[in-house]
Structure 1
Amino acid sequence: MTYDAVVIGAGHNGLTCGCYLARAGLRVLVVEQYHDYGGMTISEEVTAPGYLSDIHASGFLVAKVAPAMKDLDVEKHGLELITPDPNWALVTT
């Protein structure tokens, strides 16, 4: 297959770029070396087993007001940004 654009990195910015390029009619390939995609939207067990942490939690403040969130209608595709109360915690073992 031939592509018009190759986006390196399937984080939130790479995926956004890929979406806009595809909307413009280009054939797009997005590649990612990590085992998952989504960048700041990923939650993983990094502090302790069984505790999910948002690695880039501070990015949610920007994501909620980013024009691309509404423009690309990401909630329709399953992305839900949840702000828990309290929204910060320190897990120790």
Structure 2
Amino acid sequence: GGQQLIDLSVSFTKGCYTGQELVARIDSRGGNVPRPVRVLHATGDVNIGDEVTAGDDCVGVVTSAAGDVALAPLMRKVEIGDQVTVGSVTASVVAPAQS
């Protein structure tokens, strides 16, 4: 997937070149994105804009939805397998299907 493409496309050991600082930043930060997009499987229909909560904390907002499946960028503290509330329904955070 993405990491393999990066490994084949750039050199992290080559000498000076245009864009070296950006490439070094990508390498050092890795996959540390502030809010990874997660797949949610809910017990009922969800809508774009629904808040995602874990306990009393709002951890994200639904950005795409189709029936009981949604995508939402969530705080990193929410992990795959966690239960959250989307609007007024319960949802499971699941791993995306791998092709």
Tell me the TM-score range normalised by the shorter chain.
under 0.3
Give the structure-1-normalised TM-score: 0.24
Structure index of larger Rg = 2
Give the structure-2-normalised TM-score: 0.23
From the two aligned structures, give the one with the greater strand fraction. 2
